[in-house]
């Protein structure tokens, strides 16, 4: 066990004993089980259409490495392997034979290391084909069937993410900040003064909210005559007013009131550009937080927003990985919004399981964590590079485009797209992915992302 894990365990023992440690371990195991279930469903998204279109599938495996358990059903071996960080199905005939291997054509000698590599891979693929399998190979299938088969895995991740997000938002609900006042500070202090003495003293000026007469339980309905319906609108309206008097419309005990608050200018973090600060108007109230169940439209909007943000994160992934490298080897602070690996996500699951919070909150967090994982896996697999699913989808679409053009122009129908020619790039991408996974695993061990400081 690494030193960071020992610190975690020691801290856990400090506020709950061995029971909390077991909860931490249980959180790790629960996340791994959810991870394996997600992988199994991803591969099922490939398996079902592959069998539907008549392709012979020899293996359906969850995990990598040595086989832990397997059983054969018909022509397919189903099993679980020891390393639960991936999975695959094995379809025969993923690579087409060389054109010169067709009857009536001369066979040329292989030259160059890359050509030899490609030929070896072709021969290995051809060895799986038995007599009678000629029309059950992947490369002979129509382009649209190839696209459906390879898109089935990411599609399953997206469907699973949507269902899990719906469970969280519609079943458990989300914490929503209301325009109801929860707390009114009596005075205004600088950060340094608050650290030295958080209590108000006679020399401290009253907060604008306290001076205006706002009380906990008041519902703010307007700022400077403009209606506000949620906390974001209220906060932005207050900030936009800057310093000076402003009319605050409230409801108190069901009755409308108008108060005048003399806002002050304070430096606050920007709502639109986190990490940057600006001078804004300050009132001095905190919102009441309520758990509200959302409707299906909110789930769709949430899924769309996270999909867009995940796409941006994938574009910025190389830059983010530089930050992971610096955090792993230079001791810099880990970016909470940066990428984390399976090990890091599992550790977060363990921390949540050990927290002293209601069980339903823990369940909601785990469901939300798995939903985000499935969304990220689905998006990552759509990158149009081999060996990812997106590379095969791109190959199928390119084949369909070429055949459609040939049909329109009445030219001879082109052959199947030969993805074997991209094997050198495929192996290079696979190596990069292995290095990235190793870097994330190391960073998650020595400098993990933590829920709390």
Tokens standing for 33?
């089980």
Tokens standing for 168?
């969280």
Q: How far apart are CA 422 and CA 299, in angstroms?
A: 39
Q: DSSP label at 134? A: T
Q: How far apart are CA 301 and CA 264, in angstroms?
A: 36
**Residue 278 bears catalytic tag:** no
Half-sphere exposure of 44 (CA within 13 A, CB side): 10
Q: Which residues pair with 36 in a beta bridge?
A: none
H/E element, 257: strand 255-269
- What is the DSSP secondary-structure string of 323-347? HHHHHHHS-PPPPTTS---HHHHHH
- What is the DSSP secondary-structure string of 379-414? HHHTSSSTTSHHHHHHHHHHHHHHHHHHHHHTPPPP
Q: How far apart are CA 332 and CA 323, in angstroms?
A: 8
Q: Which residues pair with 60 in a beta bridge?
A: 78, 89
Tokens standing for 117?
């590599």
Q: How far apart are CA 406 and CA 402, in angstroms?
A: 6
Q: Shortest CA distance to 208 belongs to which of 181, 227, 184?
A: 184
**CB burial class (10 A; 0-12, 13-18, 19+) of residue 288?**
middle
CA-CA distances (angstroms) from residue 230 to 251, 433, 441? Answer: 14, 43, 41
| 3-class SS of residue 141 | coil
Q: How far apart are CA 83 and CA 239, in angstroms?
A: 52
Residues 82/60, Cβ–Cβ less than 8 Å = no
Catalytic residue among 43, 211, 241, 399: 43
What does the CA dihedral 111, 115, 117, 123 come to, rounded to 10 degrees? -100
Report the catalytic residues. 43
């Amino acid at each position: 066990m690494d030193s960071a894990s020992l610190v975690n365990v020691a801290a856990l023992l400090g506020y709950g004993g061995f029971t909390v440690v077991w909860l931490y371990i249980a959180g790790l195991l629960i996340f791994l089980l959810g991870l394996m279930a997600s992988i199994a469903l991803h591969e099922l998204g490939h398996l079902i259409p592959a069998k539907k279109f008549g392709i012979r599938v020899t293996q359906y495996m969850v995990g990598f490495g040595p086989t832990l358990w397997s059983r054969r059903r018909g022509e397919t071996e189903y099993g679980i392997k020891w390393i639960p960080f991936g999975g695959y199905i094995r379809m025969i005939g993923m690579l087409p034979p060389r054109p010169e291997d067709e009857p009536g054509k001369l066979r040329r000698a292989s030259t160059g290391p890359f050509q030899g590599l490609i030929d070896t891979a072709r021969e290995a693929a051809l060895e799986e084909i038995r007599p009678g399998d000629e029309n059950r190979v992947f490369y002979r299938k129509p382009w649209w069937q190839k696209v459906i088969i390879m898109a089935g895995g990411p599609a399953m991740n997206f469907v699973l993410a949507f269902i899990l997000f719906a469970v969280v938002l519609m079943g458990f609900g989300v914490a929503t900040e209301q325009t109801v006042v929860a707390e009114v500070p009596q005075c205004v202090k600088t950060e340094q003064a608050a650290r030295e003495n958080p209590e108000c003293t006679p020399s401290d000026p009253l907060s604008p909210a306290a001076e205006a007469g706002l009380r906990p339980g008041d519902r703010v309905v307007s700022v400077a005559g403009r209606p506000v319906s949620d906390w974001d609108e209220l906060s932005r309206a207050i900030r936009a007013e800057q310093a000076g008097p402003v009319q605050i419309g409230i409801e108190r005990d069901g009755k409308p009131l108008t108060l005048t608050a003399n806002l002050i200018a304070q430096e606050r973090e920007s709502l639109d550009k986190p990490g940057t600060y600006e001078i804004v108007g300050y009132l001095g109230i905190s919102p009441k937080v309520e758990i509200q169940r959302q409707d299906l439209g909110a789930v769709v909007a949430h899924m769309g927003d996270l999909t867009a943000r995940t796409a941006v994160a994938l574009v910025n992934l190389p830059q983010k990985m530089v930050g992971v490298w610096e955090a792993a080897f230079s001791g810099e602070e880990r970016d909470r919004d940066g990428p984390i690996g399976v090990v890091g996500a599992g550790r977060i699951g363990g921390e949540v399981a050990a927290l002293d919070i209601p069980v339903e909150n823990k369940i909601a967090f785990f469901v939300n964590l798995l939903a985000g994982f499935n969304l990220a896996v689905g998006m990552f697999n759509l990158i149009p590079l081999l060996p990812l699913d997106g590379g095969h989808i791109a190959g199928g679409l390119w084949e369909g485009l070429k055949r459609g053009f040939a049909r329109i122009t009445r030219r001879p129908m082109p052959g199947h797209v030969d993805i074997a020619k991209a094997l050198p790039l495929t192996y290079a991408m696979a190596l990069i992915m292995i290095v990235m996974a190793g870097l994330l695993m190391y960073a998650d061990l020595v400098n993990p992302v933590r829920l709390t400081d």
